Chains A and B, each alone.
Chain A
Amino acid sequence: MAVWSIKIVPGKKRGAPATFVPQLQQPAPDGTYPDGLYADSGDAVSWDNTEGNKPHHPVPTDANYKPLPIPPADELSGKIPAGESSRPAYVVAEPASGNTIFYCCALHPKEHGKITVTS
């Protein structure tokens, strides 16, 4: 298994939503991560909150980024205090359908990201 980190980076403009930036993986030519983080099933993922004064809380959503009920096995993280990283580590599981895990911040619903499960 591998261990991956997703940085929660403040928006470029004041009031803009934070973005989720996968670490150690290359962006698309336009500098974005259209498929989010790539991870195999069983990999561990954490979110690293680099915002100095805002907590964040990634929660699973449907493909339209509407939060889903969270059974314990599907939990992504607890609330992440400013400047800290997530807890617990999220162990990537195959989604019930498709190969993408969608998520948003429960505290800032406009902030969303995804994990593409590769095997």
Chain B
Amino acid sequence: MTVRDTRLRDCDMHPSASPHVPEPRWIAAACLVAGAIALCPATAHAQAAPWKPQSPQYIQCPAPGQPLIQIPEIIAQAGKPAGKLRGTILLNNGVQRLYLGANDPTQCLPQDVRQFSGWLSYNDGSGTKAVLPAYPGAIPPGYPGYVPPNPPPPSGVLDPVPGPTLRARVGDLVQLTFLNQIGTGPYWDSIDRGEKGQGCDESTGGQRYPGLDVFPDCFHGSSTGNIHFHGTHTNPSSTGDNVLVEVRPQLRDKGKLIPDPVVVPAFEKFFASCERQLNKNVLSQWPYTWNDLQQDWVNDQLALLKRYDANPNIVNKLLPIDLAQRAAGAWPQYYIGSYPYCFRIPDYAGRNWPPGAARVPSHVQTQQARALQMGQSPGTHWYHAHKHGSTTINVANGMTGAFIIEGGYDDMLNDFYGAGWTGPQPWARSQPVLVVNQLGVSPNLFGGGLGGGAPFSINGRLQPMLTMQPGQVQLWRIANTSSRGSVFLTGFGPAGSTAPAPTQTFVWQQIAQDGVQFTGGNYENSKSPKLTISPGGRADLLVQAPTETGQYILYAAQVRSHCETLDASPTIPTVAPPPPQPQKPPLPPYPTPICAVQTATPFLLVNVTGTAATGNQALFIPPATVQAAFPPFLADIADSEIRGTKILAFESAPTGGNPGAAHSIDGHQFDGNVGEVVLLNNVEEWQVVNKTVNGGLKTINGNPKVVTTDPPGVVDHPFHIHINPFQISEVFDPNEVLPGTTTYKYIFEGQPVTGQCLLDITKPDTWKPCSNPPSTTGRIWWDVFPIPSARAVFLANNTRVVVVPGYFKMRSRFVDYTGQYVLHCHILAHEDRGMMTIVEVVPLTTAYSHQ
């Protein structure tokens, strides 16, 4: 094989850069493990010999243990009657150094990716960049004081950094300019082909894509952008948290952006109008139609769409679609280059719940006098690209960021903990924000890929190092923005370890889930749990370092189902069990393949150093204090509130072709139509079912044989619904096992042993949990929750199989905002390929009066 020499070594491009030689004490500790490949030998080898690319296109990865990156922030400015979060999210493309699963984890590749960056003003080349946060860490590229990691990337290549952290307070107005300036050239034509009459991305090779996938439920259009503000309780329509709009890239002429001078002045005027309108009524969903927008910008968009459509290759023109939607009273869908986001983060100011009726100005014709029911939960939220068909690739490229919404939760923490690490700023702001992602460039259908998924990065770096004082309590705001994997945190180990220590020297307590704080009781009961954070989920942890200085490793595994989090020993069978003995039938429960247990690998490195923390900064905030700050609008949903029920079934079904599975809800793939309808301010309980099963019987030579059907494999689809959080009232996991064993908890024939439950296979209404129902009080609020996988139950000496679905029941208040938004699986490849539907919340009232 002809392979060029080491021309591409970064040291050749940066003569001043020193070769990477990790500190000896980190050589053992920084064993990055990707899949089954331990990195220690390669890292250690780097001391003895200069690094070499495995082939010329490769460049050297930064070593593990680089300081945690500070993510720049766009921070709301205080104001009366409301503060404002103003800034620009710029979407463009650039070359980044990515680890893409080479056998040697020191081997990275320069890849052109789509990326978010943040500005405090419109980015016209003279704008002001987002500011650095209060927590300590490494300065990101492009900011004064930036020190590249060791080894530095080659010239023209940057290391990944998440989108800017947005930081606002409940009650604030969000006024963000979104600009799409992606250059579409490099993306294997993953531009928007729908209007060219072709649709899906296509690839060659043995696994040709799209295969059985059908537009729009296929990967496509990755140069289009929008933003979903995940976890917000706000207007889902028009310029709110509206994921149905699609913003095509700004037009170019011979590769150069065509300036659009209309945007800045038009958006200034629009934001001023928006502020006036939204300040009239906390429930306002203004703007309602394009007539409410700044008309210069509307006319500009009409002209841009016309110019876009003038391309002779465009078969399905966009402008007529927008005009038809406008004429029908709908919010037009397609835009070119720019979009204004303007909405309120509602503050529930009442001290009691439920609220009384509110006075609404009489000129608000579309709303009856009603009061805010929920308000926004202050906490760790996030935002990401959410254009159907390209959410996976865009998120994997790094189009995600944290959205910290402050409120009474932060006041509580600041009151207790006082000033932060580095100065007089509030304590909660001086705490690290940890944006987890699985960075990559492919949805993994074009061939190759990482199999189990890309390794987790934190703030763009693999295994970064965070610093703590001995005994110090920190607040870690963790947002799992990955497109695929759940983060299963398993515990800490000392430097040099390969697994969590049996006895933990770190102590941690979870204080919020999915941006919603815990009750005092839940907080008190959450000491040092093994914790799973679904893709899209968040966890706020108060973490206390040991009093001994030293370096430590936090371990995590990447999982897709609860059964993957079970203890690895005793081994769970993953292959066909022994054939049945006719003279000696196997005793139920017959072992069946469920899934492979995942091994935790280093996730985050912690350097405990300096002087010991003292005072409250070495204490956990008391549960009673947490309880006292619990918002009244997060009161438990009582049985008596429920006005409706629904059943939704998620399923990844084998296709027998390529791709191997089709993803649907209630048997339908996403088609843009409404799947669920709810009346405004109704409370409903939904049973969310997972029919996806890994296992089945196949007759081979006349004998039934257990086979797996991977893909899809055992997968607990992470259910996510926009706008309103929910509580879990019941969980049924048919794959559940008795603690410490591989014995199923649920059996369907034979005699149960202690702890087992015998369910009637002939009566599906008996397939429900038999013990340990979730508490009816103090229930945790979620916006992503994994639906337990189905189980193939083998009966009658494995001659018969029945699929028993898993499910959970959730309760939600569909309050405050009408409109259409989506629910979907947060394994984003499933969402892009059809596992999504629209929920419409319709108003209680009509425009008619009856005098």
Please list the residues of chain A having a beta carbon within 8 angstroms of any beta carbon in chain B: 1-5, 7, 23-26, 28, 35, 38-46, 48, 50, 52, 72-76, 81, 84-91, 93, 99-100, 116, 118-119
Contact = CB atoms under 8 A, between A and B. Distances in A.
Given A25-B57, A75-B204, A48 B449 contact: no
A41 B1 contact: no
Closest 3 CB pairs of A and B: A42-B448, A88-B202, A1-B448
A89 B2 contact: no
A89 B202 contact: yes
9 contacts: A3-B188, A24-B110, A35-B2, A38-B4, A42-B446, A73-B204, A88-B202, A93-B206, A118-B1
A89 B55 contact: no
Contacts of A84: 189, 313
Given A35-B2, A88-B202, A88-B204, A1 B188 contact: no
Interface in B165-197: 184-191, 193
Interface of B (DSSP majority class): loop
A9 to B, nearest CB: 12
Interface of A (DSSP majority class): loop
B207 interface: yes
Contact of A76 (B3, B4, B112, B204): B204
Given A86-B188, A87-B202, A89-B188, A23 B313 contact: no
A96 to B, nearest CB: 14
A5 B100 contact: no
A1 B112 contact: no
Nearest to B57: A38
B441 A2 contact: yes
Contacts of B206: 73, 93
B446 A1 contact: yes
A86 B2 contact: no
A41 B57 contact: no
Nearest to A22: B57
B57 A89 contact: no
Given A1-B441, A85-B188, A99 B448 contact: no
A43 B205 CA distance: 11
Contact of B57 (A7, A39, A75): A39
A2 B100 contact: yes
Interface string B441-462: 1101011110000000000000
A41 B206 CA distance: 12
B203 A89 contact: yes
A48 B442 contact: no
Nearest to B200: A88
A23 B133 CA distance: 35
Interface of B: 1-4, 7-8, 54-57, 95, 100-101, 109-112, 184-191, 193, 198, 201-209, 254-255, 313, 441-442, 444, 446-449
A74 B204 CA distance: 7
Most chain B CB within a 10 A radius of its CB, from A28, A39, A41, A42: A42
Contacts of B446: 1, 42, 44, 89, 91
A42 B205 CA distance: 9
A50 B204 CA distance: 22
Contacts of A99: 1-2
A87 B189 contact: yes
Most chain B CB within a 10 A radius of its CB, from A3, A25, A52, A81: A3
A28 B56 CA distance: 11
A3 B441 CA distance: 7
Nearest to B55: A118
Contact of A5 (B55, B188, B442): B188
Given A24-B95, A26-B8, A48-B185, A91 B3 contact: no
Contacts of A45: 188
Given A3-B441, A73-B205, A42 B111 contact: no
A24 B7 contact: no
Contact of B55 (A24, A40, A76): A40
B21 to A, nearest CB: 24
A33 B189 CA distance: 23
A25 B207 CA distance: 27
A24 B156 CA distance: 9
A62 B734 CA distance: 57
Contacts of B185: 5, 7, 48, 50, 85
Nearest to B103: A119
A3 to B, nearest CB: 5
B448 A43 contact: yes
B187 A42 contact: no
A74 B205 CA distance: 7
Given A23-B112, A91-B203, A42 B447 contact: yes
A3 B448 contact: no
Nearest to A100: B2
Contacts of B189: 46, 84-89
Most chain B CB within a 10 A radius of its CB, from A35, A52, A89: A89
Contacts of A87: 188-189, 193, 198, 202
Given A1-B448, A81-B313, A89-B189, 4 more contacts: A3-B441, A25-B8, A28-B7, A43-B448
Nearest to A48: B185
A43 B206 CA distance: 13
A91 B2 contact: no
A93 B2 contact: no
Nearest to A1: B448
B73 to A, nearest CB: 30
A44 B442 contact: yes
Contacts of A116: 1-3
Contacts of B201: 88-89
A45 B442 CA distance: 12
A66 B209 CA distance: 28
Contacts of A42: 446-449
Nearest to A49: B185
Contact of B204 (A4, A26, A89): A89
Contacts of B109: 2
A116 to B, nearest CB: 6
A42 B441 CA distance: 13
